[in-house]
Amino acid sequence: MSLEPVLVAGSWTPAVDPAAEFSAHDPKTKAALPARYPVSSGADVERVFAAAGEAVAALRSVSHDARAEFLERYAEKLEGRAKELVEIAARETALPAEPRLGSVELPRTVGQLRQAAAAVRERSWCRATIDSKANLRSLHAPLGGPVLIFGPNNFPFAFNAVSGGDFAAAIAAGNPVIAKGHPAHPGTTKLLAECGAEAARASGMPPGLFQLVYGVPSELGVEMVADRRLGATAFTGSRAAGLRLKEAADRAGKPIYLELSANNPVFFLPGALAERGAALVGELFDSCALGAGQFCTRPGLSVLVDGPAADAFVSELKARFAQASPGTLLAAGLVSALATDVEQLVRGGARLLSGGRAADSERYAFEPTLLEVSARAFVENPSQLGRECFGTLHVVVRARDAAELLDVARALPGNLTGSLYTSGAGDDDALYSELEPLVRDRVGRLLNDKMPTGVAVSSGMNHGGPYPSTGHPGFTAVGIPASFLRFTALHSYDAVRPARLPEELRDRNPTGKMWRLLDGAWSQADVTG
């Protein structure tokens, strides 16, 4: 069977001198699916960079409304082909067609594209700033080079490099995209990209608006993130792969935004456990097992203070893990990674309470796995015991007293989220006051009485956090318009003649509604004076 083509300069074209080829696998049967995809070589990458460079130039004369129209048409096309999309994604990922793919993830993806389109039309996202006295004006502008997106395995639509949040943000900010699809779901990516390419053509976008390769040898990926012509990189995936790219991008001075797996600690304070421990067992288990634990924000670690309520909590949690049937994992690599995780955790002093082995021989699956470890052991070795584990694997850290619980918080590395469960009656308030600042500084999103899984596309979201959960604590990968700012450069205009200014910085408000920071106050007015 011939290799599937890549999308270069707006055309589906055979890969040139592919470095290798691969197929996706059905996680439920481990069988290779029929379509064959190329791992692209430098020849494809050169073609892609050339077309992206032309698109950078062409996009300067594409109106905001046209760019918004592209995003909206794309959303429409995805809705039009929802059935096929869900079908192939379910086959490639084993994620449930319903409700997950069809009623949750696809609508979210479509919604993101539409929210991005609305923000493009509205224009306030660029934070136009005018100092009318000094005649200095600034705004956040496209990077002048394409955005390279590495999509993850776990959200075939919503984080896909050709349709997800990074894609929407990069295009909304005015940049072309070079997408590197994830090898676990190439057929889904291809179908998405077909919809996108049709939408791009219909909206008169430049041919290099977005392009797709299915894979590159890892050395070539390292070269791409450091390429002189690149604007920035967005990577969602494993810590090891992300940090390798970060090193190369940093050395070249190219921005790279990483969204790496995290442990998302959950602190159950004593009053909460006493008050509603049994209910919390269910909440924690469900959040940890959702999507077979394959969320960046699944809770991987909980911390509690010893006592009868904690004993009961752990024992009920253990029963939940033991009774649960293993979900199907996205890929073979995840099964072996979980086995290594268990081995490393046990070697570091954790005790296996449930699970711990691959679950089935005919599919990718691993037993829901629960471990416990003392706070003292955790604090001595937080990097080994706080390692990222992707799947339904949870570690309970048991502190002997509140002081030890605070020590665990101090030992935590940067995380995407941190959840604090407290009594409704105020019993935990004193401890909360001590704990909150420690957790706050170590996470991007702090939750109260709520599990972290599920990342709303909201202006108030931070899907980000301190290193090593991401590469920079000031940016979010989810949430409009803040996520756009990753893919911008700050452009200041000093005494530039009025007709030469971007519309957003001229005296007249270009839409009459756009918000601008005008002499220190946010305003929708024209500059007068």
Site for a second copy in 79-98 (CB under 8 A): none
Question: How are beta strands 210-213 and 136-142 bridged, if at all?
Answer: unpaired
12 binds a second copy per the rule CB under 8 A: no
| Given the residues 126, 195, 288, 296, the one annotated as active site | 296
The one among 489, 503, 507, 526 contacting a second copy by CB under 8 A = 489
Q: 337-376: string of b/e by CB count within 10 Å (b at 16+)?
A: bbeebbeebeebbbeebbbbebbeeebbbbbbbbbbbbbe
Which residue lies nearer to a second copy by CB, 63 or 323? 63
Window of 30-38, 106-114, 122-130, 280-288 that interacts with a second copy by CB under 8 A: 122-130
Q: Pick one of 461, 484, 504, 509: the residue that binds a second copy (CB under 8 A).
A: 461
Region from 69-77, 182-190, 329-337, 466-474 binding a second copy, contact rule CB under 8 A: 466-474
Contact assessment for residue 493 and residue 138, using Cβ atoms and an 8 Å cutoff? yes
Helix (H, G, I), strand (E, B) or coil at 178: strand
Nearer to a second copy by Cβ, of 38 and 300: the residue is 300
Q: Which is nearer to a second copy, 139 or 220 (CB)?
A: 139
* Minimum CB distance to a second copy, residue 281 (Å): 20
Strand bridging mode 11-13 / 6-8 = antiparallel
**Residue that is written with structure tokens 């020590």 in the block:** 407
Site for a second copy in 378-417 (CB under 8 A): 414, 417
Residue 497 is a binding residue for a second copy (CB under 8 A): yes
Structure tokens at 428: 């935990």
Q: Which of 9, 19, 58, 136 binds a second copy (CB under 8 A)?
A: 136
| Shortest distance (Å) from residue 185 CB to a second copy | 29
Question: Closer CB to a second copy, residue 251 or residue 357?
Answer: 251
When the beta carbons of 18 and 465 are compared against a second copy, the nearer one is 465
Contact between 85 and 105 (Cβ < 8 Å)? no
* Element (DSSP H or E) covering residue 57: helix 42-59
d(CA 404, CA 150): 39
Would you say 292 and 304 are in contact if contact means Cβ atoms under 8 Å apart?
Answer: no
Q: If binding means CB under 8 A, how many residues of this protein chain bind a second copy?
A: 77
Q: Cβ of residue 75: shortest distance to a second copy, in angstroms?
A: 19
Name residue 265's beta-bridge partners. 301
Cα 350 from chain centroid (whole Å): 29
Is residue 428 helix, strand or coil? coil
- What is the spatial distance between Cα 198 and Cα 529, in angstroms, rounded to a whole number? 47
Interface residue with a second copy among 47, 108, 123, 137 (CB under 8 A) is: 137
Q: Which stretch binds a second copy (CB under 8 A): 14-22, 98-106, 137-145, 284-292?
A: 137-145
Q: Tell me, what amino acid is at 272?
A: A
The interface with a second copy within residues 217-256 (CB under 8 A) comprises 246-247, 250-255
- Residue 98's contacts (CB-CB under 8 Å, 6 or more residues apart) are 86
Whichever of 207 and 418 has its CB closer to a second copy, that residue is 418
The reply to whether 198 belongs to the active site is no
Select from 493, 503, 506, 507 the one that contacts a second copy (CB under 8 A).
Answer: 493
Q: State the catalytic residues.
A: 259, 296
